Amino acid sequence: MKLKIKDMDIATGGPLVAVLNIKDAIKFDIHHLDRIKINKGKRVETVVANIAESSKVVPEGRIGVYEEVIDSLNLKKNDKVSIALARKPLSIDFIRKKLDGKTLNRKEIDQIVWDIVHNKLSDSELTFFVAACYTNLMSINETIMLTKAMVNHGDKLKLDKYPVIDKHSIGGIPGNRTTMVLVPIIAAAGLTMPKTSSRSITSPAGTADAMEVLAKVSFPISRMKEIIAKTNACIVWGGSLNLAPADDKIIGVEKTLGIDAESQLLASIMAKKYSVSSTHILIDIPIGNGSKVKNRQEALKLKKLFDEVGKRLRKHVSVIITDGKQPIGNGIGPALEARDVLWILRRDKRRPPDLEKKCIAMAGELFKMAGIKDSKGKAEEILDSGKAYKKMKEIIKAQDGKIFDPEDIKIGRFKFDVKSAKKGIVKKIDNKIIARLARVAGAPADNGAGIYLHKHINDKTTKGEKIFTIYSENKLKLKFAREELEKSPGVVVIK
């Protein structure tokens, strides 16, 4: 029996899904979430079956398919296909094994990752895998195998260079835009730094969002290699590449559940670095209010694990534990953060000293790892000489950008100043509330939206002095941000 294709005009974002009319499902003895094989000529794809109770959704004699299935089988409207009941993916048994607290071997982990990459697992099945690794932490051996499987089931950027420098921040701190300062410093010293960065999921801006204010960030690997050949570096969006693609799917589930499995965190970071040929990797673990890592004890435990994983993968890994009790830099939101970066690189008097200090320290650590003497002094010399700014302009140009001057960056035209109600000293700035205010104001979707901090912890303030300014690209979102501010009076504490 043949069924006609109906394009559902819906994408799942991952799993391969088809919808059968209930009468056809009964004929084939197919039930909700069964696997079925769809055959079109020599092409075959295994998908998850959903059942339509109404013929309005999918009439009898038709099969509704989602966009991922259409792309995989190259289907067109009214194409005829045959279907058959299929077995569930092999990895279901291995996920159940991990749920039972047992250890997985290399072949089992490899199969799970293959099924994730090829969209063979339903959302619930992938969620069970993530949950299993959260409740029954993977061993170091399992973490290494997961890292290698993630790399192997994706594309790789192969560079005939040594050393290849990289860094990663565990995250959770608004405004922590160190990458965009570090990359031009490192590249200006003649070292190679191919930086793939993320977009925001829950923060006011990711590095890719801020860099996109200045230049394009979406490139195929071939173009990425050309940019690196020209400039020694790049700052691109990792999501436009097929590097360790299983990682992105796992992260999506973790964000939904609000969890961060230790083993998957390690594998996630190291797989992305491994896939771009990184040899020397600096890991930044900020600790404090609003950060992913709450205290020094947790950070030291994570540091030990990174050291071990790096050693086992034959990578030079250095871990630093930094202060994450408040936002870093002044700007929070894509345009405001990009402006901070250019102010630092141009040595503008408005540059944020805390962000600059952190970047110099991190660059010094990376130079030390690469065997460069007077590492901290080298970073300052490259900044003060203008070499870092010159290199950033080269990178922006190579990535088809045109904005080199911070004054050309457009900031939201609607703003509201939050002022101090009394004289005193700033004792606390709530990272989570600041981030939420910036997002309600429109960041990161609206580049010019966000928050600009005029004060940081331990700064003195007088009554009526500006503490921070909320920027937005439209009046309504600014109104929403002000309403959110009224619900959260403790965003800044002054004593």
The residues assigned a catalytic role are: 260
Query: Strand, coil or helix: what is 27?
Result: helix
Place of tokens 């293959």: 114
What is the CB neighbour count within 10 angstroms for residue 292? 18
d(CA 310, CA 307): 5
Residue 93 region, left (φ>0) first, then alpha (ψ -120 to 50), else beta?
alpha
d(CA 488, CA 262): 31
d(CA 56, CA 287): 54
Tell me which residue of 451, 445, 447 sits closest to 433, measured CA to CA: 451
Strands 62-65 and 2-7: parallel
Residue 284 region, left (φ>0) first, then alpha (ψ -120 to 50), else beta?
beta
What is the CB neighbour count within 10 angstroms for residue 389? 20
d(CA 270, CA 133): 17
Sequence-separated (6 or more) residues with CB below 8 Å from residue 477? 440, 441, 442, 446, 449
Query: Strand, coil or helix: what is 31?
Result: coil
- List residues bridging with 235 in a β-sheet: 195
Tell me which residue of 176, 284, 171, 278 sits closest to 234, measured CA to CA: 278
Joined tokens for residue 289: 């209010």
Cα within 13 Å of Cα(305), Cβ side? 23
Q: 195-209 as b/e, with b when 16 or more CB fall inside 10 Å? A: bbbbbbeebbbbbbb
**DSSP label at residue 407:** G
d(CA 145, CA 110): 8
E strand or H helix that includes residue 334:
helix 334-345
Cα within 13 Å of Cα(283), Cβ side? 27
d(CA 143, CA 122): 23
Strands 460-461 and 414-419: unpaired
- Residue 440 contacts residue 480 (beta carbons within 8 Å): yes
Tell me which residue of 352, 392, 450 sits closest to 214, measured CA to CA: 392
Place of tokens 């300052």: 380
